[in-house]
């Protein structure tokens, strides 16, 4: 198959894409239009938690498409009820609202917190978020994000998102005033470069927010659904947040996200929140298939074991090439580089032959790894073999 150069001009240019087109996916592998195979450690940005085209998702989609695709969000449907019941049974939350993207789930969390502030906190609306945090690309979620430069990109911002520093409780406490209603963070800052909030920080934050009557919101769009070896990353710190958002992995590759909250916070009334596609059975049936896979005995323990295997292999690479080290939890990890050669390594890895390697550099001085949660140890070892020579040569 030829690459369709002429058609590229018809797409809005929102990313510098290489001139290749993927035509097939199989587990940890993607195949382009020439038949070249790529070992995929991006997986749609931690989205395809069971790899490309897994049987569980193919079967769920086919069976649901055969029976009911979209009765409208004004009616109940069985997969949405089943997924909501599974999520509440396996978390500290009592209620679920389904949406389609991580940003949309976070918008819902922001709206829920602001409504709570209006009802219970005298109109308080400010949500303390964090430098280098990432919550999505809508106007409100960009305003909640702490990416340098984003405050000016589509100015004026949505107001009410003062920024604290991760793992610095005093920086949070200093921002609390009478208009504050919540604190919102990622348990591990993913786009910020795989920066974990420490368990001590999360526990102290839970203590502080409870003491001051504030809501604690965790954005688990990237860290949730087994990515860290627990179903949700906040469980490592043994805390119960008031609100959680899920995205990415919950759909295993299809557009599905969720807003979860404890009963005491659920103050939406009919008319406050909704959306045309929200909770449609085609997507929620996939969510059920994904979650049932993650909950199968031994699955999450194996994710943790695979994470430990990847951690060891990355540490060995760091030692061999005199790099600063690696960090992360479970199968969300980063290799820290000596210089800003991340993008050059990403390009060189993709262009390797005969087998390419797909990596991602959310910051120029590190590489991020977010493979399928069911990847084999042999594929992790293969990735290390492909990356090893590049670290010795590219940008050196
Ligand atoms: C990816 C991501 C989002 C945004 O999700 P979309 O589905 O792209 O809207 C929000 N928060 C975090 C932590 C993410 O990693």
CA of 394 to the centre of ligand 1 (A): 30
CB 210 within 8 A of CB 178: no
Active-site annotation holder among 134, 161, 201, 232: 134
User: In the prediction, which pLDDT does 387 show?
Assistant: 98
Domain match, 40 and 63 both: no
Phi, then psi, of 173 in degrees rounded to 5: -55, -35
CA of 319 to the centre of ligand 1 (A): 32
Domain match, 87 and 131 both: yes
Q: What is the pTM of this model?
A: 0.98
Domain match, 114 and 153 both: yes
Check which CATH number belongs to the domain holding 286 and give it: 3.40.640.10
CA of 61 to the centre of ligand 1 (A): 23
| Mean of the per-residue pLDDT values of the chain | 97
- What is the CB neighbour count within 10 angstroms for residue 336? 18
pLDDT tens-digit readout, 234-282: 999 999 999 999 999 999 999 999 999 999 999 999 999 999 999 999 9
Domain match, 105 and 168 both: yes
3-state secondary structure at position 294? helix
Boundary-marking domain end, from 294, 324, 358: 294
pLDDT classification of 203: cutoffs 50, 70, 90: very high
* CB neighbour list of residue 249: distance below 8 Å, 6 or more residues apart: 46, 47, 49, 224, 225, 226, 227, 290, 373
* CB neighbour list of residue 82: distance below 8 Å, 6 or more residues apart: 284, 288
DSSP 126: E
Check which CATH number belongs to the domain holding 321 and give it: 3.90.1150.10
Chain-centroid distance of CA 277 in Å reads 21
- Give the closest residue (by CA) to ligand 1 atom 15: 222
Helix (H) and strand (E) counts for the chain?
Answer: 12, 16
* CB neighbour list of residue 107: distance below 8 Å, 6 or more residues apart: 136, 138, 140, 141
Active-site annotation holder among 98, 248, 268, 379: 248
Q: Which of 84, 88, 129 is nearest to 232 (CA)?
A: 88
Domain match, 62 and 26 both: no
DSSP 61: H
Atom of ligand 1 nearest to the CA of 222: 15
pLDDT tens-digit readout, 306-342: 999 999 999 999 999 999 999 999 999 999 999 999 9
Domain match, 276 and 171 both: yes
Domain match, 62 and 42 both: no
Domain count, the chain: 2
Domain match, 45 and 90 both: no
Domain match, 271 and 307 both: no
> C-alpha distances in angstroms, 313 versus 38, 326, 328, 381?
20, 10, 13, 8
Ligand 1 site, CB within 6 A: 101-103, 106, 134-136, 186, 190-191, 219, 221-222, 247-248
User: In the prediction, which pLDDT does 2 show?
Assistant: 84
- Give the closest residue (by CA) to ligand 1 atom 6: 102
Residue 126 is a catalytic residue: no
Domain match, 290 and 225 both: yes
d(CA 92, CA 82): 17
* CB neighbour list of residue 354: distance below 8 Å, 6 or more residues apart: 36, 37
Active-site annotation holder among 41, 93, 161, 219: 219
Most informative mutation of 247, 252, 332 for ligand 1 (most atoms within 8 A of CB): 247
Boundary-marking domain end, from 294, 321, 344: 294
pLDDT classification of 60: cutoffs 50, 70, 90: very high
Its domain, for residue 212, covers 55-294
Could you tell me whether strands 180-185 and 126-130 are parallel, antiparallel, or unpaired per DSSP bridges?
Answer: parallel
Residue 98 has pLDDT above 90, yes or no: yes
- Give the closest residue (by CA) to ligand 1 atom 11: 135
pLDDT classification of 214: cutoffs 50, 70, 90: very high
Domain match, 27 and 64 both: no
CA of 331 to the centre of ligand 1 (A): 17
Domain match, 15 and 103 both: no
| Token representation of residue 69 | 């695709």
Catalogue the long-range contacts made by 232-235 (C-beta closer than 8 Å, 24 or more residues apart): 232/91, 233/187, 233/188, 233/329, 234/187, 234/202
- Give the closest residue (by CA) to ligand 1 atom 10: 135
Most informative mutation of 102, 129, 223, 275 for ligand 1 (most atoms within 8 A of CB): 102
pLDDT tens-digit readout, 107-140: 999 999 999 999 999 999 999 999 999 999 999 9
pLDDT classification of 1: cutoffs 50, 70, 90: confident
Residue 219 is a catalytic residue: yes
CA of 385 to the centre of ligand 1 (A): 30
Residue with tokens 């991340």: 342
Residue 396 has pLDDT above 90, yes or no: no
Q: Average pLDDT, stretch 35-53?
A: 98
Residue 168 is a catalytic residue: no
CA of 218 to the centre of ligand 1 (A): 12
Boundary-marking domain end, from 243, 268, 294: 294
Q: Which of 239, 170, 233, 230 is nearest to 203 (CA)?
A: 239
Q: Average pLDDT, stretch 360-383?
A: 98
């Amino acid at each position: 198959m030829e690459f369709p150069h002429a058609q590229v001009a018809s797409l809005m240019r929102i990313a510098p894409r290489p001139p290749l087109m993927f035509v097939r996916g199989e587990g940890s592998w993607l195949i382009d239009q020439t038949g070249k195979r790529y070992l995929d450690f991006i997986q749609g940005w931690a989205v395809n938690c069971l790899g490309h085209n897994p049987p569980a998702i193919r079967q769920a989609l086919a069976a649901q498409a055969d029976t009911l695709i979209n009765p409208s969000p004004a009616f109940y449907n069985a997969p949405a009820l089943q997924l909501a019941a599974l999520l509440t049974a396996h978390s500290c939350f009592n209620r679920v609202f389904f949406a389609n993207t991580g940003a949309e789930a976070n918008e819902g969390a922001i709206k829920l917190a602001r409504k709570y502030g209006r009802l219970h906190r005298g109109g308080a609306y400010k949500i303390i978020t964090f430098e280098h945090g990432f919550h999505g690309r809508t106007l409100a979620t960009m305003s909640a994000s702490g990416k340098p430069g984003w405050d000016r990109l589509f100015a004026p911002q949505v107001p009410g998102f003062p920024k604290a520093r991760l793992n610095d409780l005093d920086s949070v406490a200093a921002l609390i005033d009478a208009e504050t209603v919540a604190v919102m963070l990622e348990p591990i800052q993913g786009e910020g470069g795989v920066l974990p909030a420490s368990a001590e920080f999360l526990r102290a934050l839970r203590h502080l927010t409870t003491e001051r009557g504030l809501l604690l919101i965790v954005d688990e769009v990237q860290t949730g659904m087994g990515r860290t070896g627990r179903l949700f990353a906040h469980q490592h710190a043994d805390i119960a947040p008031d609100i959680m958002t899920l995205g990415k992995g919950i759909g295993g590759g299809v557009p599905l996200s969720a807003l979860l909250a404890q009963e005491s916070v659920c103050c939406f009334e009919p008319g406050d929140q909704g959306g045309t596609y929200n909770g449609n059975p085609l997507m929620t049936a996939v969510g059920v298939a994904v979650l049932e896979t993650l909950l199968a005995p031994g699955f999450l323990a194996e994710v943790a074991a695979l994470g430990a295997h990847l951690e060891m292999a990355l540490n060995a690479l760091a030692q061999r090439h005199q790099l600063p080290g690696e960090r992360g939890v479970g199968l969300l990890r980063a290799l820290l580089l000596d210089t800003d050669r991340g993008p050059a390594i990403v390009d060189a890895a993709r262009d390797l032959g005969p087998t390419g390697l797909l990596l991602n550099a959310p910051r120029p001085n590190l590489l991020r790894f977010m493979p399928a949660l069911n990847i084999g140890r042999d594929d992790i070892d293969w990735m290390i073999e492909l990356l090893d020579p590049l670290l010795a040569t590219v940008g050196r």
